[in-house]
Amino acid sequence: MQEIIRQYGVSDRRVLEAMAGVDRAEFAGEENKSRAYEDTALPIGHDQWISQPYTVARMLELLIFNFQFSIFNSKVLEIGTGSGWQTALLAKLFKRVYSIEIVPELARLAEMRIEKSDLRNVKIKIGDGKEGWKKYAPYEAIICGADAEEVPGAWMEQLAAGGRIVTPVRGVMTRVTKIRNPKNFKTEKFENYVFVPLV
């Protein structure tokens, strides 16, 4: 899996080390363990999927490459906990991870997996990710693994000055950076991807 990700062009050492340090098989579910190291998305129930490894690696790289903050001292908000695999990867990269999952069963299962992985810097809550998590804002980074119609205003408000959001928007991977002026945002568009819709 590491070699495939490198072949796609992901080169950030921190991302590669995080992916080497989290076993995808532990988050893929019993029915998918034999396919956990394939570069493909896998179903996790409730019409949700564990994303393709390359896609996750690419999103993480877009989030932290030339990041103006020290990621190891930063907070990240994850929209869509899903299986918990990306959550665990974020926990290897950031000081604190706050993750929101709208499906209660997935949130509880992800929480159990995170605890089993002995990661102590993660908080998960059940709720509507479009509203963000105001209690712990501002966040230096926000990442979403579901396709949004537009970047929700709550995310923009809860983002720290200089911080970044990475999310697919209408199928296009998008990175939004909050410039020092809190009403000024820079938007960059990247490749096209297929994600489940943000609900």
- Sequence ranges of the domains in the chain: 2-192
- State how far the Cα of 152 lies from the Cα of 19, in Å rounded to an integer: 28
What positions carry a catalytic annotation?
A: 51
Under 8 Å CB-to-CB from 7, ≥6 apart: which residues? none
Residue 7 pLDDT > 90: no
Residue 19 pLDDT > 80: yes
The mean of the pLDDT values for the chain is 94
Measure CA 77 to chain center.
8
Residue type, 194: V
- Name the pTM for this structure: 0.95
- State how far the Cα of 3 lies from the Cα of 21, in Å rounded to an integer: 15
pLDDT tens digit sequence for 157-199: 999 999 999 999 999 999 999 987 667 899 999 999 988 889 8
pLDDT tens digit sequence for 60-93: 999 999 998 999 999 999 999 999 999 999 999 9
Domain 2-192 architecture = 3-Layer(aba) Sandwich (3.40)
Structure tokens that stand for 84 in this block? 């918990």
Structure tokens that stand for 2 in this block? 């590491």
Give me the half-sphere count of Cα atoms (radius 13 Å) on the Cβ side of residue 127. Answer: 14
